Every structure is written in structure tokens, then in C-alpha cells.
């Protein structure tokens, strides 16, 4: 019997399969003292796609390189992240990457945001993605975040595909987006829009956008 691994993103437990690739994220070294990156995490085959979407444009670097893998800026000090694709127990590809201290913050936020640490109420579904997470309530209500590395991060509430509330989040955008989900499930308003505005007004991690 093969061992069982826990997916960092969806929390499911899985056995490594001979048919599909799962992923391993190893943070070997960091340069930004304010950043906490995990030593080692695994992601299941489905969630691996999400990590790949973020990292597909990263450039592999040797130990002597002094360019960041993510933003390509010269950096005298860089941390190291190893990303590995695994089939069964076999490594099928591996990349070594170097991150500058700013990009370590982006990666930290990404990993925090990827992790689902609360159960969503039943009517809601959730799709994590570096292109922006989407929370959806049976078709008529939706909360979206902009991509993690967006120059202007936003959280938006939609009613039947019309944006009705928009806010600038601080911290992981997905955590902020969940505030709308929690508030909606607590109050079941007839009009979601004023509730959305109240969520923004009452949350220090959200700033309203006109």
C-alpha cells in the first residue's frame, strides 16, 4: 500500500497514483524575515493545476544566479523554492527557483490563500485559482477576487453577474471574500447589496471602492 498524503489546498487525503501527477512544494530558504513559508507541502493532482498556473512563468535558476525567478529583477539575496511533480513515488520533473523578498510575500499570500481552512456552507461552491478565486451561491450570487499578483487587488460581489459591491482587501483576498459568504449565510437578506456594503464598512480588512 502506498502512503497517504494530505493536500495543502483542498485538505483531502490522497494516495499517490500511477496515473496522475501530484505536486510537492519545498521552501528551502527565505530572505524576507517577515515571511513564513512551509518547509514542505503536497498538493493533489487537481490542486496541482492551480499551483502550476501561478508558477508556469517562473524561470528555473541555479544557485549562482542572482535574478528572481518570478519578477526577473536582480536580487543580491534570494530564497529558494523547489517545485516537484510526482507520479506515484517517482519524481518526473523538478525545478529549483529563487525568489526575491517581494516575491516571497506574493508566494506566502498565494499559499495561505490556497489553503481552505473553513468549511463553506452547503449552497456555496468555491474554485481557488491564481487568476482569482470564485465563491458562488447556487448561481445567483457570486464573490470574486482579482488574481493574487494583481496590481490593484479587489474583492467583488455580484448579483446575477452584475457587480454591486467592490472593495480593496488587505491580507489574503480569499479570506476577505469569505466575509461576504459568512455574512450572507448569517442574515439571508432579501437585498444582498446593502448587506455587502455593511460587510465592507464593518471590516478593517476591506476598503470600499466607489
Q: Residues with Cβ < 8 Å from 40, sequence gap 6 or more?
A: 24, 25, 26, 27
User: Applying CB under 5 A, which of residues 25, 27, 55, 70 lies at the interface with Zn ion?
Assistant: 70
Interaction of residue 181 with Zn ion, rule CB under 5 A: no
Nearest Cα neighbor of 99 from 65, 129, 130 is 65
CB of 41 or CB of 156, closer to Zn ion: 41
Interaction of residue 141 with Zn ion, rule CB under 5 A: no
103 phi/psi in degrees, rounded to 5:
-75, -25
User: Applying CB under 5 A, which of residues 7, 81, 133, 206 lies at the interface with Zn ion?
Assistant: 7
Residues 15-44 that bind Zn ion (CB under 5 A): 44
Interaction of residue 195 with Zn ion, rule CB under 5 A: no
Interaction of residue 68 with Zn ion, rule CB under 5 A: yes
Interaction of residue 45 with Zn ion, rule CB under 5 A: no
In 3-state terms the chain splits into helix, strand, coil percentages (rounded to 5) of 25, 30, 45
The three-class DSSP label of residue 204 is: coil
Binding positions for Zn ion, rule: CB under 5 A: 7, 9-10, 44, 47, 68, 70-71, 100, 103
Amino acid at each position: 500500500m502506498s502512503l497517504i498524503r494530505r493536500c495543502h489546498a483542498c485538505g483531502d487525503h490522497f494516495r499517490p497514483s500511477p496515473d496522475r501527477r501530484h505536486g510537492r512544494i519545498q521552501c528551502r530558504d527565505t530572505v524576507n524575515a517577515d515571511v513564513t513559508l512551509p518547509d514542505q507541502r503536497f498538493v493533489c493532482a487537481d490542486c496541482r493545476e492551480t499551483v502550476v498556473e501561478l508558477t508556469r512563468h517562473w524561470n528555473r535558476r541555479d544557485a549562482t544566479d542572482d535574478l528572481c525567478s518570478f519578477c526577473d529583477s536582480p536580487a543580491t539575496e534570494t530564497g529558494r523554492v523547489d517545485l516537484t511533480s510526482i507520479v506515484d513515488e517517482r519524481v518526473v520533473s523538478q525545478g529549483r527557483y529563487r525568489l526575491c523578498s517581494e516575491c516571497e510575500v506574493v508566494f506566502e499570500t498565494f499559499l495561505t490563500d490556497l489553503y481552505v481552512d473553513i468549511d463553506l456552507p452547503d449552497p456555496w461552491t468555491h474554485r481557488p485559482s491564481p487568476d482569482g478565486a470564485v465563491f458562488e451561491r447556487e448561481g445567483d450570487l457570486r464573490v470574486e477576487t482579482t488574481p493574487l499578483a494583481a496590481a490593484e487587488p479587489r474583492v467583488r460581489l455580484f448579483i446575477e453577474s452584475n457587480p454591486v459591491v467592490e472593495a480593496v482587501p488587505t491580507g489574503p483576498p480569499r479570506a476577505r471574500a469569505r466575509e461576504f459568504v459568512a455574512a450572507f449565510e448569517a442574515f439571508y437578506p432579501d437585498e444582498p447589496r446593502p448587506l455587502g456594503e455593511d460587510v465592507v464598512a464593518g471590516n478593517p480588512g476591506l476598503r470600499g471602492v466607489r
